[in-house]
Amino acid sequence: MDLQVGLASSQVMNPIGGISVTILSQFKFMLGLVIFLCSNAHHLVLHAFVKSYDTMPVLGLSSIPAIENGLLNLIGAMFMISLQIAAPIMAVSLLLDGALGIINRAVPQIQIHMLSMPAKIGVGLVVISIGIPALTVAVSAGVNQGLSALAPVFSK
């Protein structure tokens, strides 16, 4: 999303990971963590961790298909949730790029790059702020799908 909005060149140092990250990715991470903790999902994760000691048998050849199916479902759900979070930015960026392309074709004297950067940043930040409530739904759906993907593994 930072690349589409135009903030990919502005990076900050993440002291936890020791790497440079973009501003919006750091914001989304912190917001997701707050939502995760506020929705008491950490209690569900700790409960699943404790339950795994009671129900999980010693790993053998019989448990590999259940783990494989659970992981495949979990990866598919993760990609779907990430697409749902990024879809508004992608759509608005595509529309804005199309409009700027039409403006550039109609008036070639305008330096469209100088016009597009502030427009993309402003419109992108507005769309991200409107889409923040969707992040709450996505984090809770991700936790529920993660726990439902782990259920077949625990039942074997």
Who's near 89: CB < 8 A, 6+ residues apart?
A: 1, 4, 5, 124, 127, 128, 131
Written as six digits, the tokens of 22 are 């973009």
For the whole model, what pTM was predicted?
0.61
Checking if the pLDDT of 55 tops 60, the result is yes
Closest CA to 77 of 26, 151, 139: 139
Q: Tell me the angle at which helices 64-106 and 112-155 cross, rounded to the nearest 10 degrees.
A: 170
116 vs 82: CA distance, rounded Å: 26
**How many percent of the chain have pLDDT more than 90?**
3
The predicted model gives 15-33 an average pLDDT of 77
d(CA 85, CA 46): 26
pLDDT digits (tens, 9 = 90+) for 32-53: 788 888 888 788 778 777 777 7
